[in-house]
Structure 1
Amino acid sequence: MCGIVGAIADHNVVPHLVEGLKRLEYRGYDSAGIAVLTGGAIERVRRVGRVAEMENAAAEQQLQGFLGIGHTRWATHGGVTEPNAHPHVSHGQIAVVHNGIIENHEAQRERLKSLGYTFESQTDTEVIAHLVHHYLQQTGELFAAVQRAVRELVGAYAIGVVSLAQPDELVCARMGCPLLIGLGEGQNYIASDVSAILSATRRVIFLEDGDLALLTRQSVKIIDAADQPVERKIHVSDVSLSSLELGPYSHFMQKEIHEQPKALSDTIEAVLDAGFCPALFGDRADTVLRELEGVKILACGTSYYAGLTAKYWIESIAGVLCDVEIASEYRYREAWVHPKHLVVTISQSGETLDTMEALKYAKSKGHCAALSICNVAESAIPRASELVFYTRAGAEIGVASTKAFTTQLVALFTLAVTLGKLRGRVDAAAEAGYLEALRHLPGSVQHALNLEPQIKAWSERFAPKNDALFLGRGLHYPIALEGALKLKEISYIHAEAYPAGELKHGPLALVDQNMPVVVIAPNDALLEKVKSNMQEVRARGGELFVFADLDSHFSESEGVHVIRTPRHVGVLSAVVHAIPVQLLAYHVALARGTDVDKPRNLAKSVTVE
């Protein structure tokens, strides 16, 4: 959600800014812009729409400069218009890019108007530009002006600022939104995501909340929230440029669906090597996991559905009470907390604002410790957690999460079995069985991927529909939820999911010949119950699309379409059944001609409320 890139170098930075913004397109945006210092002025190009349109305009203007900032905007305050696009400029002297939301922007706007400032946009960001300009008039130094300005901001932000008064300085600050510094030779960078600067450098510094940084071509100076100079650790990013390219695939979502066998293998590798042991979760894990008496899972969207799946595993395998809540709801209620309950947060990016704030709230209420399950090393949520399990999904570019979801499931399954082992509920034989199930999981997922041609054939029947219903039972109900989410995210078909047993308690009223009903029907203890629910659908004229295990003994008939996934894989069946619902959503979206990787109104990393 929104993206920032900035550069200061001894050569033209415009190509770096444009390429960086292209790398950030996956995050979701509606406009783009860059501003550079050139010829004693701030030159700015902004366009509504894709980065390519802004790039063409910059080329027409022959824009060049040694210092600049760029931004992809996802509208919050004010509509999708060029005046609302970033960068925002104050008096031709200050240019600012900003991710996040300034909660006190209205009060600051009125104050600045009283000081003689006029506003050209409806955004909260323009307030920052004018505030910096105001304090620059008093201090004469950009760094000091930004320092004073951010003290007056309430909310979440990552900002990059340049000024004509200091043409050799790039200043940035972070509070609640991700921001990093890239280190080069005779050149330095800022970005909201490492992908934006990978072509220039792999050496990065992750800023922490309250940090303020001053970049020149040769140096980086950082002060913390207490205004004290600090040295932040330098990391060498292992994200590969190839992971950010499409290769032979048509879309990143398609690529990432097909990368799941490898992503799962990479995530499972450490578990197969060490067994289900606390050390997988960090140095303190042995003590924390032995002493906990319950688990509270906090997450949003797809990660929330991973948490719902984990509840079944944690309670059945480990015998530990598990509660799962939507992070954005939990943080705004008066929660009762057991001091021996572990709070588990799940986030692909590690920067999801609602989840981060929910974690802070949970810890303030007295949870014994926090465990983060995350795909991005050194992101904010893992840094705020005592325990961490990093999934190894690799870069995920498509807005609709796929491989991040299935690797999260593996991480949560590992937690469940580890807890069960510590409590004496998982003996050596059971552990060996669980390890064997993990070992075979990538192969089972590959078998599910091989069903793509059959699923694609279904997509033509779905494409004209406006609504769909997904049904599952037990461990597979969250997979039905995930299937419905994927379908509405990228095809824009309204879809809902229910536990199949709830069908007759309301949703059955919606079923007719125009309502396709997708059923996840593994060969488990609830199979006969699911079959009964399917008969209820057929009796009302509903058309059934059934994902059944190879050994479930389903047969096709009029109004009943069946695709057989691999033979039932037991406790990890939910992971395998996630694949067909991902493929169904992808191919239905293709059939409807929507933008698969960049669905309307959505963003990859949600860093604002």
Structure 2
Amino acid sequence: MCGIVGAAARRDVVPVLIEGLRRLEYRGYDSAGLAVIDEHSRLVSARAVGKVAALADRLDAEPFAGQVGAAHTRWATHGGVSEANAHPQRSGDNVAVVHNGIIENYESLREVLEGKGYGFHSQTDTEVIAHLIDSHLQTGLGLREAVRTSLGELDGAYAIVAVTPDEPTRLVAARRGSPLVLGVGNGEHFVASDAAALLPVTRHFVFLEEGDLVDLTADSAEVIDLQGTTVTRPVVESSLSADAADKGGYRHYMLKEIFEQPKALGDTLSERFAHGRPLEAVLGPDAAELLPQVRGVHIVACGTSYHAGLVARYYLEQGGGVPCTVEVASEYRYRDPVVPPGTLFLAISQSGETADTLAALRFARGSGYVATAAICNVPESSLVRESDLVLMTRAGPEIGVASTKAFTTQLAALGLFGMLVARHNRLDARMEKLYARQLLHVPAQVEKTLQLESAMIKWAEWFADKHHALFLGRGPSFPVALEGALKLKEISYIHAEAYPAGELKHGPLALVDADMPVVAVAPNNRLIEKLKSNLQEVRARGGQLFVLADPDTGIRSEPGIEVVTMPEHIEALQAPLVYTVPLQLLAYHVAVARGTDVDQPRNLAKSVTVE
């Protein structure tokens, strides 16, 4: 994995491919490359380790052109970061392939292909695909049938684009378990792993379904399903503009996205309430029938979305008396989950293409749940299309690898979702209206909280030369602490852990000293006095405390404790959304102070489409 762009046109597609790769840089990658069929029907390619700029420099030095081609940004899975392992992978001068995903049976296929005389020059599973397609071309098949036959021999997940000089005007692409979109232009066609890559050349897209293969030329695009039948998929006009992913004057995408949160939260909540209560219809036409059957919820997600799920457990159980379990998607389907009667399965994903979360959803569909539901930011994603109930977050494009506005909009959506589920259990109309008012006030609270940036810059100066940090919270603030620690480690590379504050005595207290900053989230709730006691335990060991405190807690700065007071009192439902914001700003400014790559942190990808 990570990013794919392909094109078939009557013009030179190299600039289109390069620009498409630039627009996919946010996904994270370690190398880049492209291949085209030139005017002499020759397969030509270039690859480079590092940024797309390095590939562009190489092409400036040794230019070539072509009207059909494919390009890729790679995030290493099989084999280290090297030019030999970068995509495209070739089978001699006859086939070039770019590929997202993992081919699980590549070793056995490699042995077979080596027996046929194919030599391998990389450590990748992708090179197997190129040779496999070539082996079928050698039997007399055309590119489309050679690709289709090869797909039947592959186990695993993939999005693939293949070209051959034998058919210099054709490009063939396919997807299974990894996203791929078809772009429809004026006398030209494109494919990409993300529509954002193609916005400069088209706003008309076909979101390919699981198992689809597409046969492209400049003039035509034919989609074939798993059965080999030509099918018609709807063309969707995107509302995004080509500059939707610009930085807008901010130094980094991440900072821009932090400051976009009031609007994103407002968009997520708007038009979803009537007469002071959330509308069931926001989950889809089947919600009115399915929600009364729900007696419990299983939440499955990865990374930041998992932390959102942990917050939702408090919303559902404390607010509505609805039993809830939360599980990491990569673990969920490898045990035998027990599904009590009346349980709803809820998957949370920013992209809707997270491989482990999608696999968990597909496993859940045959496991006896009342229904499946998704909270997601991408309406055309696989997760949305395959779920019974859907609640969109409306965060807009999120380019920074470290999630910010996607997380807070997930929390807002989960607050709304929790009310709808709890409505059919113990949440009465009076409390539902109170919670709705609190939730609708969150965008304004976040706007005020962003004014704490200067205070977080001062904290960041203290953190910049540290190697470890500890984050503490109690109740719903514990998942907020987890998210704060994750943000810090993702972009500053400081080792950070989060614990429930009551667990300090059970091990973490051994780590506390003057060089270990300890961040605490301190809303004024029923656990505040217990949290204060935990903070005293840190001070007694010489630890330096950094506390985000509600103005009603009475916690004030003094030697050994730096306190930033929130702009106003924050209720329990609001606290996870609002307290997250200064922790995002802290992580951002620590990373800036340390000089790391904020938007594209090392070793990470935005959309994790492999297990």
* TM-score for both structures, normalised by structure 2: 0.98
Kindly provide the amino acid, as one letter, of the partner of residue 191 in structure 1.
Answer: A
Q: Quick one: distance in 1 between partners of 2:254 and 2:200? A: 23
How far is the alpha carbon of 1:230 from its aligned partner?
1.0
Kindly provide the amino acid, as one letter, of the partner of residue 30 in structure 1.
Answer: D
Kindly provide the amino acid, as one letter, of the partner of residue 324 in structure 1.
Answer: V
> Does the aligned pair in 2 maintain the 1:276–1:421 contact within 8 Å?
no
> Does the aligned pair in 1 maintain the 2:308–2:411 contact within 8 Å?
yes
CA deviations over 1:424-462 (Å, ceiling 9, x no partner): 5221x3233222212211110011100000110110100
The match for 1:18 is 18
Q: Quick one: distance in 2 between partners of 1:485 and 1:568? A: 26
Deviates more, 1:230-239 or 1:197-206: 230-239
How far is the alpha carbon of 1:374 from its aligned partner?
0.2
SS at match of 2:345: strand
The match for 1:341 is 343
Q: Quick one: distance in 2 between partners of 1:140 and 1:284? A: 46
SS at match of 1:242: coil
Q: Quick one: distance in 1 between partners of 2:10 and 2:431? A: 61
How far is the alpha carbon of 1:273 from its aligned partner?
4.6
Q: Quick one: distance in 1 between partners of 2:402 and 2:82? A: 26
Kindly provide the amino acid, as one letter, of the partner of residue 577 in structure 2.
Answer: V
Q: Quick one: distance in 2 between partners of 1:332 and 1:204? A: 35
How far is the alpha carbon of 1:270 from its aligned partner?
2.3
SS at match of 1:547: strand
The match for 1:514 is 515
The match for 1:395 is 397
SS at match of 2:536: helix
The match for 2:136 is 135
CA deviations over 1:302-351 (Å, ceiling 9, x no partner): 00000000000001122110000000000111221224210000000000
Q: Quick one: distance in 1 between partners of 2:133 and 2:79? A: 21
Q: Quick one: distance in 2 between partners of 1:346 and 1:568? A: 29
Q: Quick one: distance in 2 between partners of 1:459 and 1:35? A: 44
The match for 1:169 is 170
The answer to whether 1:103 aligns with 2:104 is: yes
Distance change >3 Å, CA 141–CA 339, structure 1 → 2: farther
Q: Quick one: distance in 2 between partners of 1:460 and 1:91? A: 54
Question: Where do 5+ consecutive residues of structure 2 fail to align?
Answer: none
The answer to whether 1:290 aligns with 2:292 is: yes
The match for 2:3 is 3
CA deviations over 1:167-210 (Å, ceiling 9, x no partner): 11110010000001000111000000011100000111111111
Q: Quick one: distance in 2 between partners of 1:139 and 1:153? A: 20
> Does the aligned pair in 2 maintain the 1:100–1:607 contact within 8 Å?
yes
Kindly provide the amino acid, as one letter, of the partner of residue 439 in structure 1.
Answer: L
Kindly provide the amino acid, as one letter, of the partner of residue 321 in structure 1.
Answer: P
The answer to whether 1:206 aligns with 2:230 is: no
Q: Quick one: distance in 1 between partners of 2:145 and 2:396? A: 39
CA deviations over 1:345-400 (Å, ceiling 9, x no partner): 00000000000001111222221210000000110111110110011000000000
The match for 2:180 is 179
Q: Quick one: distance in 2 between partners of 1:567 and 1:513? A: 31
The match for 1:565 is 566
The match for 1:530 is 531
How far is the alpha carbon of 1:422 from its aligned partner?
2.7
The answer to whether 1:495 aligns with 2:496 is: yes
The match for 1:547 is 548
Q: Quick one: distance in 2 between partners of 1:81 and 1:392? A: 38
> Does the aligned pair in 2 maintain the 1:417–1:426 contact within 8 Å?
no
Equivalent residues in 2 for 1:18-417, closer than 5 Å: 18-38=18-38, 39-273=40-274, 275-417=277-419
Q: Quick one: distance in 2 between partners of 1:291 and 1:560? A: 49
Q: Quick one: distance in 2 between partners of 1:588 and 1:272? A: 39
Paired residues, what number?
A: 608
The match for 2:455 is 454
> Does the aligned pair in 2 maintain the 1:317–1:426 contact within 8 Å?
no
Kindly provide the amino acid, as one letter, of the partner of residue 257 in structure 2.
Answer: E
Deviates more, 1:108-117 or 1:332-341: 332-341
CA deviations over 1:205-246 (Å, ceiling 9, x no partner): 111111111011111111111112111111111223333111
Deviates more, 1:66-75 or 1:328-337: 328-337
Q: Quick one: distance in 2 between partners of 1:424 and 1:549? A: 29
> Does the aligned pair in 1 maintain the 2:523–2:570 contact within 8 Å?
no
Kindly provide the amino acid, as one letter, of the partner of residue 566 in structure 1.
Answer: P
CA deviations over 1:135-161 (Å, ceiling 9, x no partner): 011133100100100100000000001
CA deviations over 1:92-117 (Å, ceiling 9, x no partner): 01110000000000000000000010
> Does the aligned pair in 1 maintain the 2:43–2:165 contact within 8 Å?
yes
> Structure 1 vs Structure 2: percent identity of aligned residues?
55
> Does the aligned pair in 2 maintain the 1:270–1:280 contact within 8 Å?
no
> Does the aligned pair in 2 maintain the 1:37–1:164 contact within 8 Å?
yes
> Does the aligned pair in 2 maintain the 1:371–1:388 contact within 8 Å?
yes
How far is the alpha carbon of 1:91 from its aligned partner?
2.1
Q: Quick one: distance in 2 between partners of 1:583 and 1:473? A: 21
> Does the aligned pair in 1 maintain the 2:269–2:412 contact within 8 Å?
yes
Deviates more, 1:561-570 or 1:352-361: 561-570
The match for 1:482 is 483
Q: Quick one: distance in 2 between partners of 1:434 and 1:224? A: 46
> Does the aligned pair in 1 maintain the 2:322–2:425 contact within 8 Å?
no
The match for 2:422 is 420
SS at match of 1:270: coil
> Does the aligned pair in 1 maintain the 2:321–2:426 contact within 8 Å?
no
Provide the alpha-carbon RMSD of the alignment.
Answer: 1.0
> Does the aligned pair in 1 maintain the 2:273–2:279 contact within 8 Å?
no
Kindly provide the amino acid, as one letter, of the partner of residue 345 in structure 1.
Answer: A
* TM-score for both structures, normalised by structure 1: 0.99
